[in-house]
Amino acid sequence: MIRTALALARAGGLVVVLVAVLGGMALVTATGVIVDSGFRSQPPLRLAGADVVVSARQSIPVEEDLPVALPERAGVPGSLVGAVRAVPGVASAIGDLSFPAAVVNRTNTPSGPTTLGSATPGTPTAATPGRPAADAAGQDGPSPGTAGPDEPSPGTAGHGWASLGLSGRLTAGRPPRAPDEVALRGGRLGARVLVVAGGRPAAYRVTGLVDAPGLYFSDATAAALAGRTSGARAGTVDLVAARAAAGVTPGDLARALRQRLGDRYEIATGRYRADAESPGAAAGRGLLLALPGSIGGISLLIVGFVVGGGLALSINRQRRDLALLRAAGATPRQVRRVVAVQGLAAAVPALVPGAALGYLLAARFGELLVEIGALRADQPLVYGPLPAVAAALALLGGVRVASWAASLRVSRMPVVPGVAGLGEPSRARTNAGLLLILACLVLSSAPLLVRTEAAAIGPATAALLAVIGLALAGPWLVRRAAGALARSRWVARLPGPGWLAVHNCHGHALRTAGEIAALGMVVTLGLSVTLTQTTISEARSRQTSAAMRGLVTITAPGLGGIPHGLLDEVRRLTPAAGMVTTTVVTGPLEFGDNPRLMARPALGLGPDAEGLIDLDVVDGGLGGLTGAAVALDERAGRVGERLEVIMGDGARVEARVVATYRRGLGFGPIVVSRDLAAAHTTTGLDGAILARPAALAPLLARWPGAEVTEVTEGPQAGAASAQTLVNLAVLAVLLAYVLVAVANRLVATTTARRGELDGLRRLGATPRQLRRMLRWEAALIAAGASGSGIVLAAVPLGMLGLGFLWRPVPAGPLWLVPASVLVVGLVVWLAVELPARRIL
């Protein structure tokens, strides 16, 4: 059977399958690496000397779903250090603290132990109000792309001297003892440096040099700088790190600790220590899970589409042979097996190179994620074997299913010689396709009813459905359209080549429709995904810029947050409001939210925002944003209600709703009070100051590290724009894959038409006429693809524009429309012209 299958196989069709599987393998593997990293990617371990790390729980379990990760540090009582020390098997234990700390020089540029960042005024960095979600740990820092891989985020660079015992060694000098002493890496002993630590700028003397990243203060100083000597966090530490006694394995020690301390704490060993050390990084990598999820459906669909198309082409070429096989006594099942074996034979050689390509693609992708700030530079992607294995299984399964589906009709062909006709599309297929296209129109009206970001899923899904519908109903549509064209007077008067081309498209509707649907998909998806994103971000930025009109933003990305005192000084010059960006976890607040618990970035504003930031308040006022208070989107609740909110560090708060507002698209459905937000972030510092423009330069000259930008963004913008960029990058790769696959298919089809072309030559067609005929066909295919693609994208995008921008046109760049037509035309022309020149 296998021998028969391989003997029957025609190289052309199977090469198309091979290429499709190769590309599919690369895409799925790369997506898999991202997902895998979403679970496992970690920054380097700081407390490498610790065997076990005890910390607060930094996640909320959710029934039947992934736990919600908490990015902000939740402390543990200082008494826990003693409790851990008392457990048998513990050799030593320390309470570890991390707090914002950065060395600045006098030239208004933060410069850490080495250069911390090259942020210049006007550059939107990670510390603008809308920070990328990976950074939402409150670890405001220079954009991860600009920090060295070994540099800690300035939001958590400060530690007590006790921690050094587990992270590194003193290489010169002596430990810091006085409150104005510091030890660091790469400085000069005895030098005086200006350090902003815990939001307080002060001069320190370097007394010791160490070989670990970060700044080390005496333990008492560290506790004071980290805000653990008074207030809500008095006496707490971030985590307890323990060393095991000789002969005790970390596993044993962890078991002993769990027994003694119970389930209240996270007890981490091995690589999980890094998660306990940086909850922000652990929560931030969750974004990696969300990214491919948003476009994974499209990519699987596309891979299936392309692989299925290649198989269909291969089968169509063998129709006659397969019919003969049936005539020779093969059962339909055997015929299907022949087809399946051929498909797998073409797929298997593509698996390994495809996987290799996938890992390369993932690496490029990782670079992109770091560049846009969605991934920390010190948190590399994880390259395990699992994604490749999963991708191989998925693709082999896909090929198996696709070959079964594609061979169903051929295998059931009656055993009558010479019936191998041109293939009529089945009625059911056409109806299903037309129904899907109709359903897409209904779905795309979602933005008219709901104006939240989730509503954009409507048009995006609609475009997907429309593409599937086009693939199904395509042959029938092409037959109708080309038939009408063929009967028209205009075509009847065309010279031979054009006339023939129209008739060929009509007669070979199945083939033509396959090409048109695949290329139409490129146009539809390209336009709808891109313009949906631009439309929503346009709508969002319209809201935020209206809300923050005439304000400037002051940030201090290199310092881990706005230093204490700066806001007061700015206020003396001009109206100003402090702003915290944090993460809050709530029940569902808007359409499309997770029905159980939903973590999202949120802005923390105080009463000083009243009259400065215009959220288009419907009821109540921002003046009430003190203590446990929140403001909500008008559709999410009413003033006076109470709302349970889980803060970024896991603290549960019963908050009063003090205001409702309309600008939910720009600011998200919830804004929390600044007091509340600051009390539950890792740094405890403001992320930014919003102020009316004034002569701020002299002031800022006295505050090194602080800078002014004109950029005004809501909390959603950063995460959303990272996601947008990633989506667009993935989409670009996907569409390029489709284009290559379709081009490959066109080349194979054109080459396979040699017999037909020879026949035409004998009937008196000159090579020039045949080339002209092929060009006409290419033009018809390109026109059909562009036309149907644009129409299918236009309806959802029109609705989206109406819903979000009050006009039936999406936000630009509208040059994408002619550009996509041009690309499709160019690909078709090349894929037809080059083989035509070779065979004619």
Binding site for other proteins (CB under 8 A): 418, 421-422, 495-496, 499-500, 503-504, 506-508, 756, 759-769
Q: Supply the minimum distance, in Å, between the C-beta of residue 421 and other proteins.
A: 5
Q: One-letter amino acid identity for 670?
A: I
Is the CB of 297 or the CB of 495 nearer to other proteins?
495
Rounded Cα–Cα distance for residues 575 and 499 (Å): 74
**Least distance to other proteins from the beta carbon of 767, Å?**
6
Residue 693 identity (one-letter amino acid): P
The least distance separating other proteins from the CB of residue 758, rounded to whole angstroms, comes to 9
CB 322 to other proteins: min, Å: 17
Task: Please tell me the distance from the alpha carbon of residue 15 to that of residue 553, in angstroms, as a whole number.
Answer: 56
To other proteins, the closest distance from the beta carbon of 411 in angstroms equals 21
Contacts of 662 (CB under 8 A, 6+ apart): 615, 616, 617, 618, 633, 634
Could you tell me the smallest distance in angstroms from the CB atom of residue 377 to other proteins? 59
Cβ atoms of residues 244 and 254 within 8 Å:
no
**Could you tell me the smallest distance in angstroms from the CB atom of residue 820 to other proteins?**
29
> DSSP 3-state helix, strand, coil percentages of the chain (rounded to 5)?
55, 15, 30
- The smaller minimum CB distance to other proteins, of residues 376 and 506, is found at 506
Least distance in angstroms from the C-beta of 498 to other proteins:
10
**Cβ–Cβ < 8 Å for 674, 722:** no
Instruction: Cite the DSSP H helix spans in 646-696.
Output: 664-667, 674-679
> In this complex, which beta carbon is closest to other proteins, that of residue 505 or of residue 739?
505
Residue among 800 and 840 whose Cβ is closer to other proteins: 840
Tokens representing residue 743 in the block? 């081009």
Residue with Cβ nearer other proteins (497 or 789): 497
Dist CA 316 CA 748 (whole Å): 12
Which residue lies nearer to other proteins by CB, 600 or 753? 753
Nearer to other proteins, 612 or 760 (CB): 760
Torsion of CA 759, 760, 763, 766, to 10 degrees: -130
* 794, two tokens: 């236009």
Shortest spacing between CB 424 and other proteins, in angstroms: 11
**Minimum CB distance to other proteins smaller for 497 or for 803:** 497
In total, the chain counts a number of residues equal to: 840
Choice between 240 and 757, CB closer to other proteins: 757
**Adjacent-strand bridge partners of 629:** 656
- Which of residues 451 and 479 has its CB atom nearest to other proteins in the complex? 479
Tell me the two tokens of residue 640: 């006076």
Least separation in angstroms between residue 479's CB and other proteins is 11
Nearest approach, Cβ of residue 426 and other proteins (Å): 18
* Bridge partners (DSSP) listed for residue 644: 654
CB closer to other proteins out of 490 and 806: 490
Question: Which residues, in sequence order, are CB contacts of 432 under 8 Å at separation 6+?
Answer: 469, 472, 473
Beta carbons of 672 and 630 less than 8 angstroms apart: yes
Comparing CB distances to other proteins, the nearer of 465 and 770 is: 770
Contact call for residues 26 and 276 (beta carbons, < 8 A): no
Report the nearest approach of other proteins to the CB of residue 418 (Å).
Answer: 8
Per the structure block, which two tokens stand in for 175? 């430990």
Question: Which residues does 598 contact at the CB level (< 8 Å), separation at least 6?
Answer: 68, 585, 586, 587, 588, 589
Q: What is the CA radius of gyration of the chain?
A: 32
CB of 763 to other proteins, least distance (A): 5
Pairing label, strands 670-673, 598-605: parallel
Fill in the DSSP letter of residue 609: G
Q: Which residue has the tokens 């709703």?
A: 657
Beta strands in 556-636 (DSSP E): 576-586, 598-605, 617-620, 629-633
Interatomic CA distance for residues 182 and 184, integer angstroms: 7
- Of 479 and 745, nearer to other proteins (C-beta) is 479
Minimal distance, residue 415 CB to other proteins, in Å: 17
Q: Quickly tell me which residue has 């306990």 as its tokens.
A: 276
Q: List the beta bridge partners of residue 268.
A: 53
- C-beta closer to other proteins: residue 222 or 482: 482
Closer Cβ to other proteins, 500 or 653, answer by number: 500
Which of 150, 756 has the CB closer to other proteins? 756
Among all chains, which residue has been given the structure tokens 């810091």? 176
Query: How far from 456 is each of 442, 446, 804, CA to CA, in Å?
Result: 13, 8, 9
Residue 335 C-alpha from the chain's centroid: 43
In the complex, minimum distance from the CB of residue 784 to other proteins, in angstroms, rounded to a whole number: 16
CB of residue 770 to other proteins, shortest distance in Å: 9
Going by C-alpha positions, the residue among 436, 481, 528, 387 that lies closest to residue 34 is 387
Nearest residue to 720 (alpha-carbon basis) of 485, 578, 544, 561:
544
**How far is Cα 446 from Cα 187, in angstroms, rounded to an integer?**
59
